[in-house]
Structure 1
Amino acid sequence: MAEIEFAEIVAGGFTFRARVAGPADGRLVLLLHGFPETSAEWVGQLSALGDAGYRAVAFDQRGYSPGARPAEEAAYDRDALVGDVLAVADALGATGPAAGGPAFDLVGHDWGGAMAWQVAGLHPDRVRTVSVVSTPHPDAMWAASHREGSDQRERSSYMKMFRTRGKAEELLLADDAKYLRAAFKGLSETAIAEYLEIMRQPGALTGALNWYRAIEPKSLADAGTIEVPALYVWGAQDPAMGRLAAEMTAAHVSGPYQFVELPDADHWVPENAAAELNESLLEHLATY
Structure 2
Amino acid sequence: MSRPHTFTPPPCAHARQLRTARGDFAVLDASPSTAPRGTALLLPGYTGSKEDFIALLEPLCAAGYRTVAVDGRGQYETEGTDRQETYAQAELARDVLAQAAALGAPGEGTVQLVGHSLGGQIARAAVLLDASPFRSLTLMSSGPAQVAEAQQLKVKMLSDALTTLTMAEVWEAMRAFDPPEDTSTDGEALRRRRRWLRHRPAQLIATGRQLATEPDRVAELAAARLPVHVLSGERDDTWPVPLLDEMAQRLGARRTRISGAEHSPNTDRPEETAAALVSFWNSL
Matches within 5 A, 1:4-83: 4-23=13-32, 26=36, 27-83=38-94
Query: How do 1:100-249 residues align onto structure 2 when only pairs under 5 Å count?
Result: 102-138=109-145, 142=146, 152-164=148-160, 166-167=162-163, 170=166, 173-174=168-169, 177-179=172-174, 182=177, 191-201=188-198, 204-213=200-209, 217-218=213-214, 221=217, 224-226=220-222, 227-249=225-247
Q: Which residue of 1 aligns with 2:273?
A: 277
Matches of 2:231 and 2:267, distance apart in 1:
13
RMSD of equivalent CA atoms: 3.0
Is contact 1:173–1:180 with CA below 8 Å preserved after alignment? no
Name the counterpart of 1:261.
257
**CA distance in structure 2 between the aligned counterparts of 1:184 and 1:77, rounded to whole angstroms:** 34
Do the aligned partners of 1:169 and 1:206 also contact (CA within 8 Å) in 2? no
**Relative to structure 1, is the Cα distance of residues 33 and 67 closer, same or farther in structure 2, using a 3 angstrom cutoff?**
closer
Paired residue total: 269
Instruction: Report the alpha carbon displacement of residue 192 of structure 1 after superposing the two structures with TM.
Output: 4.2
Q: 1:243 is aligned with what amino acid?
A: V
AA paired with 1:224? E
Question: Contact 2:22–2:95 (CA<8 Å) still a contact in 1?
Answer: no
- TM-score relative to the length of structure 1: 0.80
Q: What TM-score does the superposition give when structure 2 sets the normalisation length? A: 0.81
How far 1:103 moved relative to its partner? 2.7
Write out the 4+ residue segments of structure 1 that deviate beyond 6 Å after TM superposition: 183-189
Looking at structure 2, the residues matched to 159 and 70 of structure 1 have their Cα atoms a distance apart, in angstroms, of 20
Structure 1 range deviating more: 224-233 or 159-168? 159-168
Counterpart AA for 2:65: Y
Once the two structures are overlaid, the 10-residue window that deviates more, 203-212 or 129-138, is 203-212
Letter of the 1:238 partner, please give it. D
Q: C-alpha displacement at 1:184, in angstroms?
A: 9.2
Does structure 2 conserve the Cα–Cα contact (< 8 Å) formed by 1:270 and 1:277? yes
Q: 1:109–1:260: structure 2 CA closer, same or farther, 3 Å change rule?
A: same
Unmatched runs of 5 consecutive residues or more in structure 2: 1-9
Deviations 1:211-244 (A, max 9, x none): 2246762467487133211111122332222134
SS of the equivalent of 2:221 reads coil
Deviates more, 1:84-93 or 1:214-223: 214-223
CA deviation after TM superposition for structure 1 residue 49, in Å? 1.4
